[in-house]
């Protein structure tokens, strides 16, 4: 996670016009998105510096950090529409580093040969669209069917910042593993999804970090305080996710972001054992426990009996900054020992190896993973031209792989 910081030196290579005035003395702010003249490396540095204000810094830095982690649809669309040749080249370079998981599906299938796949899925922005009301982030029935089908073939876990009970209420599949509160609250399937999971040792597993329960009264108190202090900010929504508190600002006027930041920071000053992190249009208050989605991934692999094994291929699909902990955990396993897939329409710094643009592509990817023959025999319209060739070519190979695992 980003370290506290209250001042940012100007990034090397960023033109002077990249800075803007700020009422906070002694600080230099960068606009989002970075200026067109900035190179890809400099632009990334700007975003990285902006995000270093997660815990320290005043309202100005807070707003810039919120903008960097949560560009509005309008701003992102305008940046994309106004992209020049440099931006197009940078996007092409980013896609070369993080190619479509659909377009490179055959490569992923080849990497899984002789291995047991374990599927990890984020929820918001991955299985469901990002919506204004977090309580209305429902997944489609077709997505639910795709996840259910995947779970019939591979152990499957939902890893979310939501509290475990809430994300289960959205997904409604008892055969999955659920890791809520960024992995701090884990429970195994209520029922076995198939006989192929007989060797899994995590059935019924219930896990929380040793000291997590100590924070529950503190989290409850902070939730109540934040509900009260943000009441005057239209659109702000505070959500108690058991081991963390989420402050959603998707419906808050951007002019009010500074006030919201100060309100949250003001409450946190009284709770030094809690930390502030950020996601897409959300501020999150979490315990200072060294536990995250990456640790949850490693715990579940160990519980399934795959600790230190090379005959397993964990696949993690997520869209948010907290998913980067899982992507980094996969990279620590070594080259070719895991598949990280970022869900994003726009280039961003990531430790994932592949990308998908939106939940619709996640649905297609999961559908192909579980039953490629059905997808392409019954598909009502042809797949995108860029994706069709490689996916169709590997469908038979994947089907043979699945059939072998069924025996």
- List pLDDT tens digits, range 246-266: 999 999 999 999 999 999 999
pLDDT-based confidence at residue 58 (cuts at 50, 70, 90): low
Q: Of 52, 51, 55, 64, whose CA–CA distance to 23 is shortest?
A: 64
Q: Give CB contacts under 8 A, 24+ apart, made by 77-83.
A: 79/33, 79/346, 80/346
Alpha helices in 193-256 (DSSP H): 216-229
Q: How far apart are CA 294 and CA 179, in angstroms?
A: 11
Mean pLDDT is lowest, of 36-40, 253-257, 258-262, 328-332, for 36-40
Backbone angles phi, psi at 220, to 5 degrees: -65, -45
Residue 193 scores a pLDDT above 90: no
Out of 55-64, 330-339, 364-373, give the one with best mean pLDDT.
Answer: 330-339
Which has the higher per-residue pLDDT, 18 or 161?
Answer: 161
Q: What integer pLDDT is reported at residue 177 of this predicted model?
A: 96
CA distances from 205 to 172, 244, 284 (A): 18, 21, 26
Give 385's pLDDT tier (boundaries 50, 70, 90).
Answer: very low
Strand (E) or helix (H) holding 287: strand 282-287
Task: State the catalytic residue, choosing from 86, 122, 319, 320.
Answer: 122
Phi, psi of 256 (to 5 degrees): -100, 0
Which comes out higher in pLDDT, residue 145 or 370? 145
pLDDT at residue 28 in the model = 30
Cα angle, residue 141 at apex, residues 384 and 352 outer, rounded to 5°: 55
Residue 395's nearest CA partner among 380, 217, 379, 381 is 379
Distance CA 137, CA 113 (A): 35
Is a pLDDT exceeding 90 seen at residue 283? yes
The CA distance from 261 to 404, in Å, is 54
Q: How large a percentage of the chain has pLDDT more than 90?
A: 54
- Residue 83 pLDDT class (50, 70, 90 cuts): low
Active site residue 122: yes
Most confident by average pLDDT, 57-71, 186-200, 286-300: 286-300
pLDDT band at 373 (very low <50, low <70, confident <90, very high): low
Supply the pLDDT for residue 178: 96
Q: DSSP 3-state assignment of 98?
A: coil
Question: CA nearest 343: which of 321, 368, 318, 325?
Answer: 318
Domains of the chain by range and CATH? 16-94 (no CATH), 103-209+291-406 (3.40.50.1000), 213-287 (3.30.70.1020)
Phi-psi region of 182 (alpha: psi -120 to 50; beta: other; left: phi over 0): left
């Amino acid at each position: 996670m980003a370290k506290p910081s209250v001042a940012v030196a100007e990034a090397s290579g960023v033109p002077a016009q990249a800075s803007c005035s700020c009422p906070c003395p002694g600080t230099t702010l960068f606009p989002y998105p970075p200026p067109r003249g900035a190179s890809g490396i400099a632009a990334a540095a700007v975003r990285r510096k902006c995000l270093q204000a997660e815990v320290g810094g005043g309202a100005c830095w807070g707003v810039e950090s919120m903008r960097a982690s949560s560009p509005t649809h309008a701003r992102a669309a305008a940046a994309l529409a106004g992209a020049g040749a440099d931006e197009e080249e940078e996007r092409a370079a980013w896609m070369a580093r993080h190619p479509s998981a659909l377009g490179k599906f055959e490569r992923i299938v080849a990497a899984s040969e002789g291995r047991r796949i374990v599927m990890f899925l984020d929820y918001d922005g991955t299985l469901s669209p990002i919506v204004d009301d977090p309580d209305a982030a429902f997944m489609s029935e077709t997505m639910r069917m795709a996840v259910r089908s995947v779970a019939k073939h591979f152990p499957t876990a939902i890893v979310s910042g939501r509290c475990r009970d809430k994300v289960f209420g959205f997904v409604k599949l008892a055969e999955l593993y659920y890791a809520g509160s960024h992995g701090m609250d884990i429970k195994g399937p209520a029922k076995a999804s198939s006989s192929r999971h007989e060797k899994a040792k995590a059935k019924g597993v219930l896990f929380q970090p040793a000291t997590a329960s100590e924070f529950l009264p503190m989290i409850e108190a902070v939730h109540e305080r934040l509900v009260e202090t943000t009441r005057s900010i239209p659109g702000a929504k505070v959500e108690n996710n058991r081991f963390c508190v989420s402050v959603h600002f998707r419906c808050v006027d951007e002019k009010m972001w500074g006030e919201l930041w100060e309100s949250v920071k003001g409450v946190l000053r009284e709770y030094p054992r809690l930390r502030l992190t950020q996601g897409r249009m959300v501020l999150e208050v979490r315990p200072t426990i060294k536990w995250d989605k990456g640790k949850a991934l490693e715990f579940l692999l160990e519980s399934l009996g795959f600790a230190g094994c090379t005959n397993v291929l964990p696949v993690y699909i997520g869209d948010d900054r907290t998913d980067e902990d899982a992507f980094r955990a996969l990279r620590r396993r070594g080259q070719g020992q895991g598949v990280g897939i970022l869900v994003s329409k726009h280039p961003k710094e990531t430790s994932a190896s592949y990308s998908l643009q939106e939940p619709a592509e996640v649905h297609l990817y999961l559908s192909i993973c579980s039953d490629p023959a059905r997808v392409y025999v019954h598909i009502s319209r042809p797949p995108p031209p860029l994706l069709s060739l490689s996916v169709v070519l590997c469908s038979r190979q994947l089907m043979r792989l699945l059939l072998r695992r069924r025996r």
